[in-house]
């Protein structure tokens, strides 16, 4: 039996590198998927690819838009009648020196990385509480604990996501709902990884750590993995600051 056979999973940010990696890993383990993202063409292409493995629903969604988030969860319930797992993965990076940072950059990052998980978590809890079961997995960053210069919006948002994780776990446990956060280190995705490679920092492939999400999702319902820090052995973390 596959680890996630029959589980209904809603995943945000499914068309990005990490999101696609999670979607593919969950599909391989038998999960039924609701994939959300802003790019309709990429979203449908991924849904078509994974439909050979499992039941997939693609819903174009901007996680910063309350109405669109509510519609996505409504469509999920109409299709699958339940929700077992929410993965809050959608995220963006922007930054620069604090005294040069624009308000638009700050608000964009906080909206996607923090407002989005709040809106999705709220909708998930409204479904999971009556079920008296469910699991929420937040994809954070080690920037929640070890910050870099020129990363104020991103680091602040990931600190906030870790706080949201703990409150969700606390409020959910009486209803059989767990919540945990994966804090990945340097990951081989798009331009951020390019900068890390230029600086000589070690970088993980998504496949190196995505099974952590599968493991968290596969735990018995009475067990929670509150936090998982996953990073290259040689990445500066202890002593980083």
Q: Residues with catalytic annotation?
A: 154
Cβ 107 vs Cβ 59: under 8 Å: no
Q: Are strands 56-60 and 177-184 parallel, antiparallel or unpaired?
A: unpaired
Q: Alpha-carbon distance 186 to 158, whole Å?
A: 14
Gap between the Cα atoms of 241 and 238, Å rounded: 9
| Neighbouring-strand partners of residue 10 | 34, 86
Phi, psi of 111 (to 5 degrees): -65, -50
Other beta carbons within 10 angstroms of residue 200's beta carbon come to 6
CA 121, CA 201: separation in Å to the nearest integer? Answer: 34
Q: How far apart are CA 121 and CA 133, in angstroms?
A: 14
């Amino acid at each position: 039996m596959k680890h996630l056979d029959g589980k209904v999973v809603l995943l945000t940010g499914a068309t990005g590198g990490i999101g696609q990696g999670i979607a593919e890993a969950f599909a391989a383990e038998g999960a039924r998927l609701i994939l959300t993202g802003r790019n309709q063409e990429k979203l449908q292409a991924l849904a078509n690819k994974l439909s050979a493995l499992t039941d997939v629903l693609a819903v174009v969604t901007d996680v910063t838009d309350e109405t669109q988030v509510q519609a996505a969860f409504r469509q999920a319930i109409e299709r699958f009648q339940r929700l077992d797992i929410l993965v809050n993965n959608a995220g963006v990076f922007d930054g620069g020196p604090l005294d040069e940072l624009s308000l638009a950059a700050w608000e964009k990052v906080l909206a996607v990385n923090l407002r989005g998980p709040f809106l999705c978590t709220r909708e998930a809890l409204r479904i999971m509480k009556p079920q008296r079961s469910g699991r929420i997995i937040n994809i954070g960053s080690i920037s929640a604990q070890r910050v870099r210069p020129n990363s104020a919006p991103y680091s602040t948002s990931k600190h906030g996501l870790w706080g949201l994780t703990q409150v969700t776990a606390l409020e959910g446990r009486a209803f059989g709902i767990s919540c945990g956060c994966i804090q990945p280190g340097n990951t081989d995705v798009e331009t951020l990884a390019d900068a890390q490679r230029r600086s000589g920092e070690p970088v993980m492939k998504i496949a190196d750590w995505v099974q952590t999400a599968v493991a968290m999702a596969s735990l018995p319902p009475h067990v929670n993995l509150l936090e998982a820090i996953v990073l290259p052995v040689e990445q500066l973390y202890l002593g980083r600051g």
